A and B are shown apart, each in its own frame.
Chain A
Amino acid sequence: MNWVWIGSNLGLIGGRILEHLALTAPPIVIGLVLSIPLGYWASRSKAARSVLLSLGGILYTIPSIALLVLVPVLLGLAILDPLNLIFALSVYAVAIMVRSAADAFVSVSADVRASATATGFSAWQRFFGVELPLAGPVLLAGIRVVSVSTVSIASVGAITGIEQLGSFFTDAFQRSFLTEAIVGIVSILLIAALYDVILTRIAALLLPWTRKQPAVTASPKVYTEPLGGSL
C-alpha cells in the first residue's frame, strides 16, 4: 500500500466516491419505487406474474458490459453519458426487485386483507395502510440485496469510461499500481455498508413493530436466481 499516494490524492478519491454515490442512489430508489406497483400486480394476477418475472429474468441475464453498450444505442445517448449507467443499473434493480416485491405482497395473509376490506377500508387505504406495511420486511430484504449489487456492478461503468470508483480498477491495471485497486474495493465495500445501514435505519423508523425481531435477512431463494447481470 502506497499511503503517500492516498494522502496526495484524497481529492480524487473523494470525488469518485461522490460520483459513485450519485450514480448508485437513483437506481436503488427507482428499483424500489417501480417494483412496488409491478410486484403488487404480479401478486394479484397469475398472468402478470409470469410475464413480469420472465421479463425480469431475461433483463437480468444480459451481461452488464453488454447492457452498458446497448443502453446508449437504444436511448440515443452518448456512450460516455453517466445516464447510461444509471439507466442500466435501474434495469437490473427493477429486474431483481420485482420478484422480491411480488413475494412480499404474496406474504400478506388473505385473511388480513379480507378483514381490512370488512372494516371498511377502500382499496387505496387497504394498500397503503395494511398491505404495504405488512410487505415491508420482505421488501427491505429485497432492496438490501439490490443496493449491495448496484454499488458493486456500477464499477463496470469504468470500462466504457464513466468515471466513478471503478475507474480506480482500470487505472490500477494500466499503471500496474495495486494501491489504487485496493482503494477502489475498500471504498465500494464501505458505500455498500453505508447504504445497508441507511436502509435498515429507515426501515426501523417505518416498520417499528419489526424492531424487536431478529433482522430480516434475504432468503436463500434470492441467490438461486440468475445473477448474470451482477457483474
Chain B
Amino acid sequence: MLFRDALAWIFDLAHYSGRVDIPTHLLDHLRVSGLCILIAVVIAVPIGVAIGHTGKGRGAAILISNVARAVPTLGLLSILILAIGVDLRPIIIVLVILAIPPMLAGTYAGIESVDKQTIDAARAVGMSEWQIIIRVELPLAAPLIIGGLRAMALQVIATLGIASSFAFGGLGIYVINGLNQGDYVQLLAGAILITALALIVDGVLAVVQRFVVPRGVALGRTDPNDHQKRARAPRPRVLQEGMQS
C-alpha cells in the first residue's frame, strides 16, 4: 500500500542524510517560517494594539484582510521572484505580507473584545493608557492574539511548502521532486511530512492558547452555545445605564 510505503520512506534512516536529508529540509522550513513569523509579529502586533485600543483604522484592517485572502499566494510568489530574483528575499517578503493580516486581525479583535467596563474600571483606579494596554488589554486579549498567531503560523508553513516549486528547499521539495520524477511514494511522504508539521505546530500553539487565558477569565468562561440563554436574561437596565461612562 502506498501509505505504508510513504511511512517507510519517512522512517528510512538513509533519508536522514545524503541527498534526501529530511532534517536539513525540516530545519530550513522551520528557520524561514520562524523568521517570517517574527517579522510579521513585530509589524502586526503594535498596529493591531493601536487599532484595538483607539478603535481607529478598523475598516482599513478589515479591507486589508479581505484583499489579502483574495490574492493567490502562488501568483504573488511568481511575480516577486521574477521581479527580485530566485533567492530567499522574495519568498520572505511574500510570507510576511501574507502573515500580517491574520496576526493583525487576531490582535485587534482580541483588544477590541475586552469589556469596555473593565477598561473604564482600570482607568478609574488610576492606570495610565500604557498600563491599561500592558496590564489589562493584552492579558485579556492573549487567547485571541495567539489565535491570530496560530492562523499565521499555518499560513506561513503551508505557503513555504508551495515555495518549493520555485527553488526553495523546505519540506515541499519532496512533493515537487515526487511529481517531477513520478515517484508517488516520495510525493506522499512529502505531503505527510508537511501535514504533520502543520498539525504539530498548530497543536503546540493550541496548548499555548489555553495556557495564556488569565486565571479569573477562565473561571467566568461560558460555552458558545449559551449565547441564547445569556441573551434572554439581560442585566437590569438601570444598572447597565448607570455603568456607562
Contact = CB atoms under 8 A, between A and B. Distances in A.
Interface of A: 43, 46, 49, 58, 61-67, 69-70, 73, 79, 106-107, 109-111, 145, 148-149, 151-153, 155-156, 158-161, 165-166, 168-170, 172-173, 176-178, 181-182, 184-185, 188-189, 192, 217-218, 220-221, 223-231
Contacts of A73: 2-3, 184, 188
A46 B223 CA distance: 9
- Prevailing SS type, chain B contact patch: helix
Contacts of A109: 228, 231-232
B120 interface: no
B102 to A, nearest CB: 6
A181 B76 CA distance: 8
Interface in B79-124: 79, 81-83, 98, 101-102, 105-106, 108-110, 112
Interface stretch (B15-23, B130-138, B143-151, B236-244): B143-151
A165 B70 CA distance: 14
Contacts of B199: 58, 61-62
Given A64-B162, A106-B227, A149-B69, A227 B102 contact: yes
A220 B112 CA distance: 10
B162 A230 contact: no
The 9 nearest A-B residue pairs measured at CB: A228-B154, A63-B158, A223-B105, A66-B191, A220-B109, A69-B191, A224-B147, A155-B72, A185-B75
A46 to B, nearest CB: 6
A129 to B, nearest CB: 19
B142 interface: no
**How many interface residues does chain B have, given as a range?**
35 or more
B105 A220 contact: yes
A19 B172 CA distance: 26
B54 interface: no
Contacts of A159: 74, 162, 165, 175-176, 179
A171 to B, nearest CB: 9
A189 B172 contact: no
B202 A228 contact: yes
Contacts of B165: 159, 170, 173
A71 to B, nearest CB: 10
B202 A148 contact: no
A223 B78 contact: no
A148 to B, nearest CB: 5
Given A73-B188, A231-B155, A231-B158, A224 B70 contact: no
Contact of A66 (B108, B175, B223): B175
A63 B157 contact: yes
B202 A226 contact: yes
Contacts of A168: 75
A43 B223 CA distance: 12
A151 B60 CA distance: 23
Nearest to A144: B66
B30 to A, nearest CB: 14
8 contacts: A107-B227, A152-B70, A169-B75, A181-B78, A182-B79, A223-B151, A228-B158, A231-B161
